[in-house]
Structure 1
Amino acid sequence: MRKQHTETTEEVGVPLHQIRAVYDDTTIRVYQAYSEVIADSALAHGTFVSPPFKMERMTWIKPSFLWMMYRAGWGFKEPGQSRILAIDIAREGFEWALAHSCLSHAEPSMSKEEWERLKNESPVRIQWDPERDLLLQPLPHRAIQIGLCKEAVKRYVNQWVRRITDVTPLAHEIHALVEGDRFEEAKARLPTERPFAIDRSIPHF
């Protein structure tokens, strides 16, 4: 039986809604999981190309490595999410996405018409879901997911992408360490994600 693993006190005091990511002065890293065909195409072209990538669908980008691992089951959940990609995108693109976003659900005070109008005017959706620990159990604070559609998808694939890296081997390596109860080693292999400043003038931030 696996011994109980508890997170360190580093998670204590983390704000409920905070973007944490790998970033530098010009780029910020997000993660997506895809099939072999889409991943190979993206790596070969340095961005996503249609086909096989579907421009008409909403695509969700995630700055949190462990939330991506939760969603894709470390790359073992299903064939359509077997390859984990790290996509370094322009910071100005990421900031544009936040500035042109709305929440993925309506505010209680909104009418149906107001909500439909806001969705139609916003090419980006924001969703906050519980962050995950190494066992992919929920933590008290949230990780952001950013859904891109319409104009935002075009900007993403044609303007924002700077570099795509296949991190599936890293995901499998960390998963194997976790399965072997080697939590400190697994934690040392995680990408170092730092708080990313949000423009607080955006209403839902």
Structure 2
Amino acid sequence: MKLHLKKYKEQVPDWPEKGYHIMAQYDDEKIIVYQSYRKDIGQFAVENQYFGGAFSLERMTWIKPNFLWMMYRNGWGTKDNQESVLAIHLKLEAFIKYLKNAVYSSYNNELGICREEWQNQVKESSARLQWDPDHDPFGRKLERRAIQIGLRNEFIRTFAKEDIIMIENISGFVKDQHQFILNHDLDSLVIPEEKPLLFTDEDLNQKLRLK
């Protein structure tokens, strides 16, 4: 695996406890995002290093940069049709492009626009943005918020191929770490090393409520 790994308990003290944060593994060129699929889709993606075959370009796909939040959603790879857990090394510029064009998936007054204008933006946008409660390794809800981005139309087409640097199958790693969760052994749990992501573009930080 190309992921940088670190003991969970060594990372937690450095993580923010609340607020809106993009927790991720990233550098100046790429960011790791996670998805889970049924085995045939995952196998095609890893063998060909792009999404094709049974992968649908006609429905929205959601990417998650936060490993533990992905584990909460896919039950550590145990849920039906989510057994193939993928770590996607995505071009950072593509990730930023998605965020700049993303529209919040639900309306609130802080958006600074009326509901009708928001509805029009949602219809026209090819990227959605959603903040949800983050979760600890056991699936317990935290005060910190975790981000996910939904892609469709032209963005799902570029995401599926040209925006990707590499696709890794991390299903075996996830299965191994899940055993520590089942045994309530957080001392042994190892996960991808993550830290909050902030952008040089302050307008984007403000849009995303990042601090």
The answer to whether the superposition gives a TM-score over 0.5 is yes
Aligned to 2:75, the other structure's residue is in SS state: helix
**Bigger RCO (CA 8 Å, 6+ sep):** 2
- Distance change (3 Å), C-alpha of 1:101 and 1:57: same
Structure 2: distance between partners of 1:121 and 1:69:
31
1:57 to 56, 59, 70: 59
**Runs (4+) of structure 1 moved beyond 2 Å?**
6-9, 11-15, 107-113
Q: Unpaired runs of 5+ in structure 1?
A: 1-5
**Is 1:133 the equivalent of 2:139?**
no
**Is 1:94 the equivalent of 2:88?**
no
Structure 1: distance between partners of 2:115 and 2:100:
23
CA RMSD of aligned residues (A): 2.1
Structure 2: distance between partners of 1:64 and 1:117:
29
The equivalent residue for 1:200 is: 202
State the TM-score, normalizing by the size of structure 1: 0.88
Q: Unpaired runs of 5+ in structure 2?
A: 1-8
State the TM-score, normalizing by the size of structure 2: 0.86
**Is 1:163 the equivalent of 2:163?**
no
Structure 2: distance between partners of 1:31 and 1:8:
19
The equivalent residue for 1:43 is: 46
The equivalent residue for 1:84 is: 85
Amino acid at match of 1:66: L
The equivalent residue for 2:22 is: 19
The equivalent residue for 1:3 is: none
The equivalent residue for 1:148 is: 151
Amino acid at match of 1:175: H
CA offset at residue 185 of structure 1? 0.6
The equivalent residue for 1:75 is: 77
CA offset at residue 75 of structure 1? 0.9
CA offset at residue 121 of structure 1? 2.8
Percent of paired sites with the same residue: 35
CA offset at residue 60 of structure 1? 0.2
CA offset at residue 180 of structure 1? 1.5
CA offset at residue 112 of structure 1? 4.7
How many residues get paired? 196
Q: Which digits, 9 at most, give the CA deviation of each residue in 1:5-44, with x for residues without a partner? A: x999727744510111111221100000000110011011
